[in-house]
Amino acid sequence: MKVGWETKLDGVLGDRSTKALRAAFGMETVGDLLRHYPRRLDDRGQLTDFANLEIGEHVTVLARVVSVSERTYKPKSGGRLATRTEITVTDGQRQLLLTFFRQPWKKGQLKHGTVGLFSGKVNLFRNSRQLLQPTCDVLGSGTDLDEFDENAERMRRWWPIYPATASVSSKMLMDSVGLVLDAVEEVADPLPPPLCAELGLLPLTSALRQVHQPADPQEWRAACERLRFDEAFVVQTVLAQRRHLMRSLPAVPRPVTAGGLRARFDAALPFTLTNGQLEVAAEIEHDLALTSPMHRLLQGEVGSGKTVVALRAMLQVIDNGGQAALLAPTEVLAAQHYRSIVAMLGPMAEGGMLGSDFDGTQVVLLTGSTSAPRRRGALEDAASGAAGIVIGTHALLEEAVEFAELGLVVVDEQHRFGVEQRAALTAKAGFTPPHVLVMTATPIPRTVAMTVFGDLDVSTLRELPGGRVAIQTNVIPVAERPDWLVRAWQRVREEVARGHQSYVVCPRIGGEPESAMQEPPADETEIAARRPPLAVADVAAELVGGPLAELRVFMLHGRLPSEEKDDLMRRFAAGRIDVLVSTTVIEVGVDVPNATLMMVMDAERFGVSQLHQLRGRVGRGSAPGLCLLVTESPQGTPSRTRLEKVAATSDGFELAQIDLESRREGDVLGASQSGRRSSLQLLSVLRDEEVIARARHLAEETVSRDPLLDSHPVLADEVERLSRSEQASFLEKS
């Protein structure tokens, strides 16, 4: 029988292995097994260093038995005495306990001096690390590792160590892969040989042999390089196909028109657009004039002037008889967009009304708390086309909302909306899809943008509008310098005396059950154990009764009715509130230029990007902004170091990178990626920028010549496999 990629495993392996591999990893075919790559390469002459064993991880270690003991115990369930066998193994320096219940024969199998591969989940037992009921593969015994292997020619020096489970050990995977590789001749390669040579990559068949059975680490690395490229290439091909499809959809072109609302808006603009804004605006202007829908991500720091750019795009569409919808994640933000857009448009926002700009348009707001009569009016204006701009929250997605001619959808703060939600809105345009502009203030590193947001074109605003002073950030370590906190409250009073306002941000509202509290970052559990995070209610009470007694202090948080929130924001914006003690509801997009000082309490409980977003709320006017990060974290702890990094740089892209590095790959790609078998095993979307860029380029070229991959059957199969796999759900985030 000819063994190939699609051959079922039971055609090559025994029943037992086939079943075990299916149960443990869902493997069905030879291809599934060969794509299960080793996690690392171990030198058989060296025991595994125990120093890196993490609690909770499933590990495979090469180790030597140093002691064996056996106890009997009375099982809780009653019955006869049972045995517990404890075997201590070593890596030459450290020790690890292997514990077996009711397997008395282990003491015969694992005698002193035995060397083996042991796989299991690491846990803590009486303060030392142990593997409970690990699987064991005895390799031999002897003090000199080179002596022990009797069947030396089968034993390779370099051992692949596979991701294993309790039922399938790394050794079993190695043996199964060995059998399969003996039977397989050549696997079909999505990259033709000349292309491999050009890219400096191994042919697929050699790469697969070398990744599983390398002669040395160099061979292994070369194999990984080829397979890593393949992972990037398949993902990028899927994304290139999507972009191709998008370009082939029809859209109503909305070119710039002379003398329209946009031209008049530009003429009335009280400032000049920055070079960055002009560049991005030109890209959007160009996209809107095309006959296929725009699909663009606009990223830029808080305050970089995205909203103005988006508004100009909306006006360009309105000038062409279309309508624009602006979707915001919160009511506060939707209401603020509404206010600032109406203000920026001036009389142009009162189109059709008596005594006002007749050629203007109408702007309407639709949120969950819009009153029934207003809602009716807004729905009518949207459906009739009288409203050129419809701003709202999730309420915009409801079925009752209809448009006369939806030409542009703007989604603010992308990461809070899923694809389905975006789709629900674009569907309101009928058969011809609208242009889509997605805005985010959380900078996305290029590699992630290329993968997770791979089917969006990306525009970036890097500079802040001129004259704005960067926000100064300081850490206030209350444990070491309680006097600095006293001084900070005094600073708040001084700012207010100068006619400015301040925010005090706390991690929680107060009064909620413990279980509802925000989870602290993983490395901060010891702080969490000390006391609950500070609450808005408590902090506000303390300030009013103490350091800020003379000031107008108010609380703002998500549990207030939205009318009250809105009212508070309006009064704060109007300068009738001095200090707003709040949760992170003010994180996104809130714009009060007169606010100059922000204190973040228990700052270590917030993520890097979140802190950066938060401090973007101050210093938005002409006065410089100051952000004080108050923390009890001692110097040298990871959380304190993180805060110091936030204080040291104002580059959002650098911070986003720090943030990503402190997280795990799975969080970037979505939960399913941390599942059993990932479609990305070797590729890191954080580190492999160059590989991704090369793969993207090749994919783009391939798809533009052969969109359906008719003449690339192997690649087409891979693409099909990826699209089918539920693990590709990270692709759905774009």
Phi-psi region of 105 (alpha: psi -120 to 50; beta: other; left: phi over 0): alpha
* Shortest distance (Å) from residue 304 CB to ligand ADP: 4
Q: Which helix (H) or strand (E) holds 195?
A: helix 193-199
Query: By C-beta, is 470 or 671 nearer to ligand ADP?
Result: 470
The neighbouring-strand residues paired with 455 are none
- Residue closer to Mg ion by CB (options 413, 578) is 413
Q: Which of 335, 344, 339 is nearest to 312 (CA)?
A: 344
Task: Name the residue nearer to ligand ADP (CB basis): 306 or 712.
Answer: 306
Residues 6+ apart with CB under 8 A from 110: 65, 68, 87, 98, 116, 136, 138
Rounded to a whole number of angstroms, the minimum distance from the CB of residue 465 to ligand ADP is 3
Using rule CB under 5 A, residue 307 touches Mg ion: yes
What residues form DSSP beta bridges with 125?
A: 128
| Partner whose binding site includes residue 312, from Mg ion, ligand ADP, none (CB under 5 to 8 Å by kind) | none
Between 281 and 580, CB nearer to ligand ADP: 281
Does 616 participate in binding Mg ion (rule CB under 5 A)? no
SS3 139: strand
**Distance, CA of 61 to CA of 50 (rounded, Å):** 8
Amino acid letter, 290: L
Smallest separation (angstroms) from ligand ADP to the CB of 307: 3
Q: State the Cα–Cα distance between residues 50 and 623, nearest whole angstrom.
A: 55
Residue 304: contacted member of Mg ion, ligand ADP, none (CB under 5 to 8 Å, by partner type): ligand ADP
Taking the least distance from each CB to ligand ADP, the nearer of 122 and 365 is 365
C-beta of residue 603 within 8 angstroms of C-beta of residue 591: no
**Residue 589 binds Mg ion (CB under 5 A):** yes
Query: Smaller CB distance to Mg ion: residue 307 or 501?
Result: 307
How many residues interact with Mg ion (rule CB under 5 A)?
Answer: 2
Min dist CB 251 to ligand ADP, Å, is: 25
Beta carbons of 32 and 173 less than 8 angstroms apart: no
State the nearest-atom distance from the C-beta of 177 to ligand ADP, in Å: 52
Residue 330's binding partner, choosing from ligand ADP, Mg ion, none, with beta-carbon cut-off 5 to 8 A by kind? none
621 CB neighbour count, 10 Å cutoff: 15
- What residues does 672 pair with on adjacent strands? none
**At closest approach, how far in Å is the CB of 281 from ligand ADP?**
11
Q: Which is nearer to ligand ADP, 31 or 619 (CB)?
A: 619
Sign of the torsion angle spanned by Cα atoms 98, 103, 105, 107: positive
Cβ 618 to ligand ADP shortest distance, Å: 13
Residues in the site for ligand ADP, rule: CB under 6 A? 271, 273-274, 277, 300, 302-308, 441, 465, 589, 591, 620
- Shortest CB 614 distance to Mg ion, Å: 14
Pick between residue 413 and residue 602 the one whose CB is nearest to ligand ADP.
413
Q: How far is the CB of 623 from ligand ADP (least distance, A)?
A: 14
Query: Between 360 and 589, whose beta carbon lies closer to Mg ion?
Result: 589
Binding partner selected for residue 125 from ligand ADP, Mg ion, none, CB under the kind-specific 5 to 8 Å limit: none
Task: Tell me the C-alpha distance between 512 and 257, whole Å.
Answer: 54
Helix spans in 452-561 (H): 482-497, 525-530, 536-544
What's the N-to-C CA distance of the chain in angstroms?
44
Nearest distance from residue 563's CB to Mg ion, in Å? 22
Pairing of strands 472-477, 553-556: unpaired
> In the complex with Mg ion, which residue's Cβ is closer, 454 or 589?
589
HSE-CB for 552 with a 13 A CA cutoff: 12
Q: At what angle do helices 713-724 and 217-248 cross, to 10 degrees?
A: 80
Which one of 59-67, 305-313, 367-375, 620-628 is the stretch in contact with Mg ion (CB under 5 A)? Answer: 305-313
Alpha helices in 550-675 (DSSP H): 562-573, 608-615, 638-648, 652-662, 665-669
The Cα 43–Cα 55 span in angstroms is: 23
Q: Would you report the helix, strand and coil content of the chain in percent, each value rounded to 5?
A: 45, 20, 40
293 is a site residue for Mg ion (CB under 5 A): no
Q: Which residues bind Mg ion (CB under 5 A)?
A: 307, 589
